Amino acid sequence: MTRITADISVSLDGFVTGPDPGPRNGLGTGGDALHTWAFSDAPDDRRIVREATARSGAVVLRRLFDLVDGPDGWNDEVGYGAREATRPAFVVVTTAPPESVRLSGLDWTFVTTGLADAVATARGRAEAASSAAGRELDVVLMGGGATIRSALDAGLVDELTLHLAPVVLGGGTPLFSGGTPRTLVQRTVVSTSTATHLTYDVGR
């Protein structure tokens, strides 16, 4: 069964960017430290990246698309699955599809009717990819704290994966700010030198 996994890096004080994020500074001041684990050559960190990308049938983004497709965004060395073989479909929640994309080699679908429809579209793409691959593939929801909060509040998420970075940012974009109280079921904890990787089942 295709699962919807929200996956995001977060600081010890609960931020997914540092202070003052913007188009030329997407992760804010000091925010790059949140993703040190993703570029680590430590075996456990590499395994987590490899396993996550290998099971991804589709990825949902929202505002993050403007950064990853921008001039300083993803490339062959930096980006989802950049150091791995996989290239899932990408589904972008937007009010208006762009006239063109820089990363034309990736599979982009733009959904203008909201997050729930984007997740449904991504599920369909992941299920088709699962049939082609002969194994279960999931939908990965990334693209910022607001997107993940909205998805959790709407009951769209089956699994939450947090990469807890050993950094205190002191400000920025919070992962959780208000929303619906929720009890999670802890599934796995993997501690490395660069992060503590936590996975939870999300109750509906």
User: How many angstroms separate the CA atoms of 100 and 127, rounded?
Assistant: 27
Q: Name the band, by pLDDT with cuts 50, 70 and 90, for residue 204.
A: low
69: pLDDT strictly greater than 70: no
Q: Name the band, by pLDDT with cuts 50, 70 and 90, for residue 119.
A: very high
86: pLDDT strictly greater than 80: no
Secondary structure of 15-76 as H, E, C letters: ECCCCCCECCECCCCCHHHHHHHHHCCCHHHHHHHHHHHHCEEEEEECCHHHHHCCCCCCCC
The two tokens of residue 195 are: 């992060």
Q: What confidence score (pLDDT) does residue 68 get?
A: 56
Q: What confidence score (pLDDT) does residue 71 get?
A: 47
Q: How far, in Å, are 25, 45, 124 from residue 109 at the CA level?
A: 25, 29, 12
Q: What is the mean pLDDT of residues 112-139?
A: 94
Q: What confidence score (pLDDT) does residue 78 get?
A: 47
Partner residues linked to 163 by β-bridges: 9, 197
The two tokens of residue 55 are: 């099971």
Question: Are 60 and 154 spatial neighbours (Cβ–Cβ below 8 Å)?
Answer: no
Our CA dihedral for 33, 7, 80, 167, rounded to 10 degrees, sits at 0
Q: Name the band, by pLDDT with cuts 50, 70 and 90, for residue 82.
A: very low
User: How many angstroms separate the CA atoms of 64 and 143, rounded?
Assistant: 5
Our CA dihedral for 154, 144, 192, 161, rounded to 10 degrees, sits at 10
Q: What confidence score (pLDDT) does residue 75 get?
A: 46
Q: What is the mean pLDDT of residues 161-182?
A: 90
Q: Name the band, by pLDDT with cuts 50, 70 and 90, for residue 52.
A: confident
User: How many angstroms separate the CA atoms of 158 and 3, rounded?
Assistant: 6
Structural domains of the chain, with CATH: 4-202 (3.40.430.10)
